[in-house]
Amino acid sequence: MMILENLNPRNVFYFFEEICRIPHGSGNTEQISNYLAEFARERNLEYYQDEIGNVIIIKEASAGYEDHEPVMLQGHMDMVAVKEPECTIDMQKEGLKLATEGDSLFAQGTSLGGDDGIALAYALALLAGEYKHPRLEMVFTIDEEVGMDGARALDVSPLRAKRLINLDSEEEGIFLSGCAGGARVNLNFSCEKKFKKGIRCEIRVNGLKGGHSGGEIHKERGNAICLLGRVLRRMNEKADMCIRDIQGGVADNAIPVSARAEVLITGYASCQGGSCEMEPVSSSGVKMQECRELLEQICEEMNRGLKEELAEKDRDVKVEFTFGEMTEGRVAGEALTKRFIDLLNTLPHGVQAMSSTMPGLVETSLNPGQLYVRQAGAGKDTEDFPGTALEIFTGISVRSSLESAKTALIEQLKSLAELAGAESEVTGDYPGWAFRTTSPLREKMTEVYRELYQKEPVVQAIHAGVECGLLIHKIPGLDCVSIGPDMKDIHTTEEVLSISSTRRVWEYLVRLLEVL
C-alpha cells in the first residue's frame, strides 16, 4: 500500500515513495542508480550510466520549445542514513517507513533522505509527465554526502546546457547562488596492542541534537565526539586507562549525536592526607569501590558542566558511565591511549570564522563526524578483539568560502596529527561556488517567483557545500541557482519535509520551465 498516495502533487510523492523503498545511503547507491537507468529504458529516454553509478537522463524539448536553450536539473542519489538506537531497520538492505503528521513527512526511526530524494522525485515526475519545457538534462550523482565523489567523476560530454537548476536546497524562497568549498581530513592513529588486566568500563555521550555540519554548524550544538574527548581527558587525569573500542558519529558532514568509548581502567589516583598516588586496580572490593566512586564523581561533574554550557543548544546532553568487572585482553597501552585522548581533546570543531563580507554567513568551520576502531595486523588474540594492532579512524569535514582559510585549517589538523603520532589524509577536496553578481538564470527565476508569489526571493550564499562548484569547473560559463522545499533537521532522525512546500516548489518549477 502506498503511504503517500493522497498527497499532492501525487506524481512527485509517488516517485518519492518509490525512492524511499530503495536503500540509498552514501556508498550504497547501486540499486537507486539501476532504478533510474531502468526508468529511462522503460520510457525510451536517452540516458547514460557510468561505471560508478552516476546517471544522466535526457528528454528532448516539448513541441514549440525546440529552439529554447536546454536546462539542466541536478540532484544527488545518496542520503545520510542514520537511525535511532532502538530502530531495527537495516538501512543497507531495507527501505524507510514513511509517515505524515499535519504538514510534515518523516521516516519512523530513521532519517528521511529528503536531502536529496526530493530532487530525484521532482526530476522523475517531470520526465514521466507531459509538460512544456526546453530540452531537459537530468543529472543524478552518487555519494555527494561523503565528498561529492559522483560530481567529481561525472563525464559532462553528453550535456549541452549552460543553465543549471540544482535541487539540493532546504528552504523555500531561498535562491542559493554561492557556497563554501570543502574537504575531508582523515586521521589514522595506530598502536600495537598490549596484554592488560583492568576494570572494563564504558563511557557514553548522547542525547545531542546533531544536524547538518554546513547548514546548522552556526547553532553551536554539541559535538559528541569532541565532548567524549573532554570526558576521557578529565577521567585520564585521575585514572590510567587503555582503549578497547571507541566510536561515534555516522558521517563527516553530520554533527555526531552520540559517542562511546570502552576502556580498561588499570590504575586510579588514591588520595590520602593531601597527596595522591596512582594505585593499581584489582579485584579487591575496597579498591574497586574507591575507583568507581572517583570516576562516577567525574562523570557527575561533567554532566553538570555540559548541561550548563549547552542549556539552550543541547539541553538533553548526557554523560553516562558503566563500571564493569575485572577482565584482561590486548588493548592500546596507557601511554598511547593518553596520546590519542589528548589528540581527541584538542581537535577544533564548529565555527572558526564568520564572513567579513556577508553578515551572518559562516566563513570557515569543521566537524569531526566519524570515529571508530579498525583492527590491523595479523593473528587473533581473543574472539572479540582480533589482530595485533588497532587503528583509530577520525573523519573530519572542513569547509570555508576562502580557499586560503580552508588550506590553513587542513594544515592545522595535519600538524596536530603529526604531533600526536597519527597519519593524516586529505580526500574529497572540492571548490567553492563563487557568487555571481550577474546571473540571467537567477533574474528569470526571480521574475517567475515574483509573478507567482508577489514577493521577492532571498538571494544568498551558504556555508554548506553543493555540487555546483564542481560542475562549474567542468562546464565553463555554467549559470547556476539552487532551490528546494522546506526541510528541517536533515541528516538526523528528526528530519521532516514540508508537504505544502513540496507542492509549491513543484508548481514553481513547472511554471519556470514553461518560460525558460
Angle at 95 between CA 122 and CA 54, to 5 degrees: 50
Longest dimension (CA), the chain: 93
What are the E-state strand segments in 109-180? 136-141, 163-166, 174-179
Q: In DSSP terms, which residues pair with 497 in a beta bridge?
A: 105, 487
Q: Is 501 helix (H, G, I), strand (E, B) or coil?
A: helix
**Range 122-136 burial, b when 16+ CB lie within 10 A, else e:** bbbbbbbeebbbbbb
Identify which of 89, 97, 82 has the alpha carbon closest to the alpha carbon of residue 21: 97
H-helix or E-strand spanning residue 124: helix 114-128
| Residue of 18, 144, 363, 486 marked active site | 144
Grid cell, residue 421, equals: 603520532
Grid cell, residue 134, equals: 526546453
Q: 347: which residues sit within 8 A by CB, 6+ positions away? A: 225, 226, 229, 368, 394, 396, 413, 416
Q: Are 268 and 291 in contact (CB under 8 A)?
A: yes
Sign of the four-CA dihedral 351, 356, 358, 363: negative
Distance CA 70, CA 88 (A): 45
CA atoms within 13 A on the CB side of 200: 10
78 is catalytic: yes
Phi, psi of 173 (to 5 degrees): 85, 0
CA distances from 258 to 127, 376, 469 (A): 41, 25, 32
Q: Is 303 helix (H, G, I), strand (E, B) or coil?
A: helix
How many CB atoms are located within 10 Å of the residue 308 CB?
8
| Residue of 18, 78, 467, 479 marked active site | 78
144 is catalytic: yes
How many CB atoms are located within 10 Å of the residue 258 CB?
20
Residue with cell 562549474: 472
User: What are the residue ranges of helices labelled H in 421-498?
Assistant: 440-453, 468-474
What are the E-state strand segments in 207-274? 211-212, 239-248, 254-255, 259-272
| Active centre residues (catalytic) | 78, 144
